Structure formats: structure tokens, C-alpha cells
Amino acid sequence: MKIIIFSNSYWNITNLRRELINSLIRDSHKLVLIYDKKKDNDLFDIDCAHYNINLPNKLFSFTKTFGLLIKLYRILKNERPDIVINFTIQPIILSSLVSIFLNFRFMNVFTGLGSIFIKNNYQTKIIMLVYKFISVFCTFTVFQNKKDQSFFLSHKLVKKNFHVIYGSGVNTKKFNKMPLNKNIDFFTFIFVGRIIKDKGILDYIDSANLVTKKNDKIKFMIVGDFDYDNPTSISKQHFLSKIESNKNIQFIGYKSNIKEFIGKAHCVVLPSYREGLPMSLLEASAIGRPIIATNVPGCNDVVIDNKSGYLVNVRDKIDLSNKMLKIAALSYSHLNQMAEFNRLRAEKLFSIDKINLCYKDLIYENI
């Protein structure tokens, strides 16, 4: 069986889909990957056919979008897959239209509704109208949390063949349980994610400043890279100007060995405005770290308030800073209870073996 997997970035393919891809290859299926790779010096190390295409920064750039549809048409017609699996909104819209034209089976995986749906403007209405058409032909639609599924159902964007699979899964062997640092006199928070507004990074910084005024022993790490193609991107200059006045904030930048940095922290914080099912929180759960996250879809599927850590109001710097101070004041044994709870939850619900089995079952059932 030939399977095409199409995602919006090289990073997404190699970091979030690798184990699913390798599992399908081990099952003797032929895989073809389509992605957008920004850095030419990144070596592709997955043993299968692949295409690097340039996705437009704006989905509604007619000239670029039309050219991309032609390119996708040629790729899909040449490869003639048994099924196309699309991850993220641009591949979902573009590849679905081409697959409908060529009469190919396709599965769409919404990894989060993202900025387009948060803003709820005319672009949102266009996307919703287009997907209402696509859903008539879609073989199967996958959501990463129940709130996103409910949104689609309430807006009649999907009527049949849909399912929730909790995220991309986390390798609980690679991200094994790590002991919590017993030195809680110098409490350390960590934010892991892209440096964009919708991840709540500016709220994290503002809240850190409020916390520092009350307790200057608390430290704050930021691990992540800038994403200038995102509609809510933040310039490096603006970001650095926001953190320069607080010596307790350490900007580390992008790191591939994220486990090492989460292991150094006492608590992971993600004040995101909306998620599918955030990988940073799955990794934090697997390692065994308390979590503070916003009470929004995706985040509240991972975090159970008062057991995993704390949920906070979205865009509420006061609430976030208060919860930071509250968790930093907990005893080591209480923090460790949260850590153990999260580890067990990761093993039970989010392990990559279970998640990949769900995807494979859906694929085999719909060919």
C-alpha cells in the first residue's frame, strides 16, 4: 500500500510523525512525504520518497496557491497513492482539493484550529465554507481534542467519519521519568514552544515580571525558536527588549535535546490561546513535571486542575502569576504527587505506541 503524508513543515514530519512513518514502513507500506523545508542544510534521514515544496505564507495568496495546487496535482497523479494523510490546515485544504479532483482517498488530521479560527474573521468564514465542501468527500477526519471536534460538529463542518486521537503521542521510553529537583528554594519554570503571540509567550514574560517582584529567587527559562511565517510572530528585537530588564529570565533558544532542559525545571508553563494537543505538555507529563497551562482546548485535555498542576484563565497575567507563586510555595512531596500523576497519565493516554496504533487502525479500516 502506498501512503502519502503531507504536513506543513520538515520539522513537523521529522519530529512529530517520524515514529508513525517508520512504523508504517516496517509494516511494508510505501511512504511518500510532502513537506515545506525552510533550511536547505537540514539532511533528510527518513528512508522513503519525499518532496520539498514551498507553502505560501498566506493561504489566500491566489497566485502562489494556484501554482501550488498544480504542483500537488502533478505529485499526487504521479505517485497514485492508496490514501493521502494531511496534517495541519494548509495541507488539509490544498491536498484535499487535489485529492477530490483525482478521486483519491484522503484523511485529514487537525492538529489544532490555530490562528485562523481564533481570530474568527472573514478568512475563518472562507476556510469553514471550503471545508464544508471538502468534508463531503473526506474519507476520515481526525481531531486531537474533543473541543475541536465539537466545534466542527456545531458548525456542520463534518457529519460523518470522524474521531479523536489524543495528539501525536510521546515516547515514554525516550522521555522517561526524571526525579524532581529537591532544591525548591530556587524554583525554576520553563516555557517550551515557538516564540509567537498565540503561545502566550508575552503573558509568560509579563507574569514572570510580576512574580519576580514578590520572589526574586524564582527563575524562568524560555526554550524555543522564532516563527516569522506565523501570523502572530514576534520580532527578535521586540522579544529581547521584553526580557532584558528581568535577570531571572533566561532565553535559551531552540534546542533539540529538550528533555534535558525540562528535567532542570520544577514546572512547565504554557499560557497558549488554543492548541491541538501540545507536545511540550506531553513531554512534560512523561518526564514527570507539574504543569501550569491555560484553560483552553488542547491544554485542558492534558492538565487536570489541582492534580496535574493548575489551569489558568487565558490572557490573564494576574491569574498566571498567582498560580506560579502558588505552585512555587508547595512542598516537595506535593509537587512530586503532581509529577507522578502526570507520568501515569502520559503512560495511560498519550504513549506514542498507543497513538500510532490508533492511526494505523484508522488507515487500514479506510483503505
Specify the range with the lowest mean pLDDT, choosing from 15-19, 31-35, 255-259, 362-366.
Answer: 362-366
Print the SS3 string covering 225-282. Answer: CECCCCCCECCHHHHHHHHCCCCCEEEEECCCCHHHHHHHCCEEEECCCCCCCCHHHH
Q: Are residues 361 and 327 in the same domain?
A: no
Beta-carbon neighbour count of residue 235 at 10 Å? 11
Same domain, 144 and 60: yes
Q: What is the CATH number of the domain that holds 323?
A: 3.40.50.2000
Together in a domain, 248 and 344? yes
- Whether the pLDDT of residue 62 is over 70: the answer is no
- The per-residue pLDDT for range 244-262, each reduced to its tens digit, is 999 999 999 999 899 999 9
Return the minimum-mean-pLDDT range out of 34-43, 71-80, 174-183.
34-43
Query: Taking the model in full, what pTM does it have?
Result: 0.87
What pLDDT was estimated at residue 57?
Answer: 65
Element (H, E) at 306: none
Residue 330 has pLDDT above 90, yes or no: yes
Query: Within a 10 A sphere around the Cβ of 301, how many other Cβ atoms?
Result: 23
pLDDT-based confidence at residue 17 (cuts at 50, 70, 90): very high
Q: What is the pLDDT of residue 43?
A: 61
pLDDT of residue 117: 64
Average pLDDT over residues 183-208: 95
Instruction: Tell me if 205 sits within 8 A of 212, measured CB to CB.
Output: no
Tell me the residue range of the domain where 325 lies: 184-350
On the question of pLDDT at 307 being above 80, the answer is yes
Is 178 among the domain residues? no
How far does the chain reach from its first CA to its final CA, in angstroms?
9
At 65, the pLDDT band (50, 70, 90 cuts) reads confident
Per-residue confidence at 15, pLDDT binned at 50, 70, 90? confident
Report pLDDT for 244.
Answer: 93
Distance CA 241, CA 86 (A): 38
Does residue 275 have a pLDDT over 60?
yes
Query: Are residue 164 and residue 191 in the same domain, yes or no?
Result: no
Inside any domain, residue 299: yes
How far from 197 is each of 20, 204, 318, CA to CA, in Å?
30, 10, 17
For residue 227, pLDDT beyond 90:
no
> Is position 165 within any domain?
yes
Mean pLDDT value of segment 356-363: 92
Q: Is the pLDDT of residue 310 over 60?
A: yes
Domain count of the chain?
2
What is the per-residue pLDDT for 285?
Answer: 97
120 pLDDT above the threshold of 80: no
202-221 residue pLDDT tens: 999 999 999 999 999 999 99
Do 144 and 238 fall into the same domain? no
* Residue 119 pLDDT: 64
Neighbouring residues of 171: CB distance < 8 A, sequence distance ≥ 6: 19, 286, 351, 352
300 closest CA partner among 328, 271, 323, 265: 271
Q: What is the pLDDT of residue 47?
A: 83
87 belongs to a structural domain: yes
C-alpha to C-alpha distances, 331 to 5, 182, 199, 221, 222, nearest whole angstrom: 46, 10, 29, 21, 24
For residues 112 and 154, membership in a common domain is answered with: yes
Residues 6+ apart with CB under 8 A from 179: none
Residues of the chain above pLDDT 70, percent: 95
Same domain, 200 and 157: no
Given this model, what pLDDT does residue 256 score?
85
Query: What pLDDT, in 10s, does the model give residues 147-182?
Result: 899 989 998 999 889 999 998 899 999 999 999 998
Asked if 264 contacts 287 with a C-beta cutoff of 8 angstroms, the reply is: no
Give yes or no: residues 228 and 113 share one domain. no
- What pLDDT digit, counting tens, does each position of 78-112 carry? 999 999 999 988 899 999 999 999 999 999 999 88
**Predicted pLDDT at 38:** 66
> Does 360 map to a domain?
yes
Stated as kind and residue range, the H or E segment containing 339 is helix 332-345
Question: Does residue 59 carry a pLDDT above 70?
Answer: no
Q: What is the DSSP letter of 144?
A: S
Q: How far is CA 353 from the centre of its chain?
A: 18
Indicate whether 67 and 145 sit together in one domain.
Answer: yes
Least confident of 63-77, 119-133, 137-151, 317-331: 119-133
Shared-domain flag, residues 162 and 303: no
Provide the pLDDT for residue 209: 97
Q: Are 165 and 193 members of one domain?
A: no
**Residue 117 within a domain:** yes
Lookup: cell for 231: 501570523
Same domain, 157 and 13: yes
6 inside domain: yes
As a residue count, the chain comes to 367
**Are 337 and 306 a contacting pair, CB within 8 Å?**
no
